[in-house]
Amino acid sequence: MTEKTRYHHGDLRRSLLDAAAELLREEGEAGLSMRQLAARVGVSRTAPYHHFKDKQELLCAIAEEGFRRYIEVLSLDAGNLSEQRLQRFVREYLDFALDNVEYYDLMFGSRLWKSPGITETLKQEAYSAFKMYLEQVRHWLEQGAVSVHLDPLRYAQVSWSTLHGMSRLLIDGIYLDREAMGPACDQAAAMFWHELKLD
């Protein structure tokens, strides 16, 4: 059976992305190469290059997938703002980071963002994820649900940075462990809520 009969064009790209994420999870970036990826999927060594020009482009595509998953999983209800909803959002964010480390490391890591080879598509996906959160904060302001003194952009930047910092501490095993993250999540949500309501 040839590669063409086993895979439609879109199917192979999807299979390559899924297999690459598996290799990252199992062996880290050092264990991911285009050759190993082809072997994992069961196609010729040249097949991945029909979809990704090199490993850098492949890693960017994985990060893009991560941001799309982020947008699907994390969405605050713009019409139902409460401290309890913020608590759930904080926990969902950390759960996403911990359950998708292979994506998260690429989404927010210097490996791609400091590289001259970062793709425009990845930049757009990252911007879309942040914009979604920023627009929700702006909606609360327009609806009178938060303090009129709130700067939506600065609030979104600082609160997202806080969540990212907590996630990195958990992923890297530096400070928190997953079993004890509940109180830390609630404290972060309480801080966010206080800033939203501060007059």
pLDDT in tens, 20-53: 999 999 998 888 999 999 999 999 999 999 999 9
Encoded amino acid at 128, one letter: S
d(CA 24, CA 152): 36
d(CA 179, CA 183): 10
d(CA 28, CA 22): 9
Query: Mind giving me the DSSP string for 80-117?
Result: ---HHHHHHHHHHHHHHHHHTHHHHHHHH-HHHHTSTT
How high is the pLDDT of residue 4? 47
Q: Could you say which residues of the chain have pLDDT below 70?
A: 1-10, 76-80, 198-199
- Give the CA radius of gyration of the chain: 20
How high is the pLDDT of residue 179? 80
Q: Which residues contact 2 (CB under 8 A, 6 or more apart)?
A: none
How high is the pLDDT of residue 5? 45
**What domains are defined for the chain?**
1-52 (1.10.10.60), 62-197 (1.10.357.10)
How high is the pLDDT of residue 31? 86
Q: Which residues contact 181 (CB under 8 A, 6 or more apart)?
A: 91, 94, 166, 170
Give the pTM.
0.86
How high is the pLDDT of residue 90? 92
